[in-house]
Amino acid sequence: MDLTFHETRVLGVLIEKSLAQPAYYPMTVNAITNACNQKTNRDPVTDLSESEVSAALSSLRRRDLAQQAEPEPNSRSVKFRHKVDTAYGWNAAQRALMAELFLRGPLTLAELRAKASRMTHLESNDYARELLSELERHEPPLVEEMEREPGRSARRFQHLMSGETRAANRSASTSSNEGGAATDVSSPTDSAPLHDIEARVAALEARVRDLQSEIASLKHA
């Protein structure tokens, strides 16, 4: 499975909120957009639009990694949840580790454990490493341990579910290894016409669902 950067950011947000703030989960498109673009716990910081988030959600739904949640009583909001637990069988700790890699990029074992602990308890670095090993042994692998970079005492881990992210991280690592400053990993530019069409269609689909919910509420009023 080769997800786009936007898809991994949205998926990371859904996993993060389900574990760290379950009271605000499942999430509306607006809430997901705000969480994608927040200034903390994100690398890189992004400025995604609701149409871009809607397009990513539509693609994740087609991949069976996300779904529209059951409507809440007396609510017209359309909300979404992830399905990675059923798609991959990840336990809560593995979901937390993958979410951090989706949201922050490559991290060392110690960084991963410390940051993921805000979502779930990770009793030791050894336990976190064991979980990562299971993800590495998945067919195909979902995580890899990167080569140690100059100036770093520990090797970092990165997820393998996005070709865009892998290419950007390796480009930055190569630049660093050649003695230059590591390049910033920024959100890929989605300028292809097909993506624009998908974004507009996804936004229209979300609006239609909102209108259908409003009509249904009025009928039962």
Kindly write down the DSSP assignment for every residue of 111-166, as one continuous string: HHHHHHTTTS----HHHHHHHHHHHHHSSS-SEEEPPPPTT-SS-EEEE-S-HHHH
Backbone angles phi, psi at 26, to 5 degrees: -65, 175
Does some domain include residue 193? yes
Q: According to the model, what pLDDT value does residue 152 have?
A: 82
Give percent above pLDDT 70 in the chain.
73
Domain that holds residue 100: 5-177+187-219
Does some domain include residue 112? yes
Does some domain include residue 140? yes
CB of 25 closer than 8 Å to CB of 13: no
Does some domain include residue 182? no
Q: How many residues does the chain have?
A: 221
Ranges under pLDDT 70 in the chain: 1, 164-221
Does some domain include residue 46? yes
Q: According to the model, what pLDDT value does residue 72 have?
A: 83
Helix, strand, or coil here: 6?
helix
DSSP 78: -
Q: According to the model, what pLDDT value does residue 190 have?
A: 40
Domain count, the chain: 1
Does some domain include residue 114? yes
Does some domain include residue 146? yes
The C-alpha atoms of residue 128 and residue 106 are separated, in whole angstroms, by 15
Distances (CA, A) of 114 to 37, 117, 122, 137, 158: 22, 5, 8, 23, 16
Q: Give me the CATH number covering residue 199.
A: 1.10.10.10
